[in-house]
Structure 1
Amino acid sequence: MTASRLRIDGVAVAIGEEAVLLRGKPGSGRSDLALRLIDEGARLISDEQVELERRGDSVFAMVPALMPQHLIGRIEARGLGIVPVPHVSVALPLSWVFDMMPWPEIERMPAAEQADYLGVAVPVLKLDPFGPSAAAKLRLAVKCGPNLIMGRS
């Protein structure tokens, strides 16, 4: 990897023409939430491993260069196995990072947080991936952007 690239653990999904990164330990609900988003029209970028690349003042998410071809466009669905899903094969700008957390650990009105990837700050929100409104909250955050969410400007 060059200094302008980084491979990390997580699941990346495309919402429109933006990438979101779902972070958390295995079993934390990353793939479960990604599957619900995909079922509602999102597309998979990469499952389990995501490659980030700095381009100017932005970070882009993509399938890792070393990803085996037979795993591209596939996601692990616990209880089913590794299954094909709608996906994108182009790099997309990373607009949000979502940390998978149990709801009791999430503040009602969280302070702004950021993750630094390759010298670029990306906004972070904590999200209970198993909550009934998790996919709606994620989509709303993407639609609003960090500047329209109170307390984050």
Structure 2
Amino acid sequence: MKARAHQATAVAIGGRAILIEGAPGVGKSSLALALIDRGARLVGDDGVLLAAEDGRLLARPHPAIAGLIEVRNLGLLPMPVVGDVPVALVVLLDHGAPRHVEAAERVERGGVPLPALRLWPDSPVLALRTELALQHYGLPVA
């Protein structure tokens, strides 16, 4: 399938991508930076290409903004990127996120069903919560 542009930020951890979605200004890039500080790799900031292949959804940098991340108060800064990483989880930054969940939601991106979790964006431990969400709810490495 041809890759399509998707409004999200994505990082890769252990060969699995996390799509970070939410309203403008909610902290997608800040969460990506915090995860990168903890060892993640940038796929794309504020726009990625998604392609369904063999039942998986692959995320890759958008060529127009590949290798750049917006750092609030500093501007667009260069950052190494990785591509063609299978998406394992969608994180929706949402001020109305529930306190507890029984299971991940299911969303569809690029025709592929994916687990999704709503996380409160103002948590001081959001990066840790995101890593735990990937461990407990993310799709396994294929």
Fold conserved (TM > 0.5)?
Answer: yes
Q: Distance in 2 between matches of 1:72 and 1:46?
A: 6
Local SS of the residue matching 1:125: strand
Q: CA deviation at 1:146?
A: 4.7
**Which residue is 1:133 aligned to?**
125
Q: Distance in 2 between matches of 1:17 and 1:112?
A: 20
Local SS of the residue matching 1:139: helix
The runs of 4+ residues in structure 1 deviating greater than 6 Å are none
Local SS of the residue matching 2:113: strand
**Which residue is 1:91 aligned to?**
84
Q: Distance in 2 between matches of 1:91 and 1:75?
A: 18
Is 2:68 aligned against 1:74?
Answer: yes
Uncovered stretches (5+) of structure 1, i.e. residues with no partner: 148-153
Residues 4-153 of structure 1 aligned to structure 2 (within 5 Å): 4-64=2-62, 67-68=63-64, 71-88=65-82, 90-102=83-95, 105-110=96-101, 111-146=103-138
Q: CA deviation at 1:116?
A: 0.7
Which of the two has higher C-alpha Rg? 1
Amino acid at match of 1:82: L
Q: CA deviation at 1:5?
A: 2.9
Local SS of the residue matching 1:94: strand
Q: CA deviation at 1:112?
A: 3.2
**Which residue is 1:151 aligned to?**
none
Q: Distance in 2 between matches of 1:142 and 1:8?
A: 20
Amino acid at match of 2:75: G
Considering fraction of residues, name the structure with more helix: 1
TM-score calculated relative to the size of structure 2: 0.88
Uncovered stretches (5+) of structure 2, i.e. residues with no partner: none
Percent identity among equivalent residues?
37
Q: Distance in 1 between matches of 2:73 and 2:67?
A: 18
Amino acid at match of 1:84: P
Q: CA deviation at 1:57?
A: 1.0
Superposed CA RMSD: 1.7
Question: What is the count of residue pairs matched by the alignment?
Answer: 138
Q: Distance in 1 between matches of 2:119 and 2:35?
A: 14
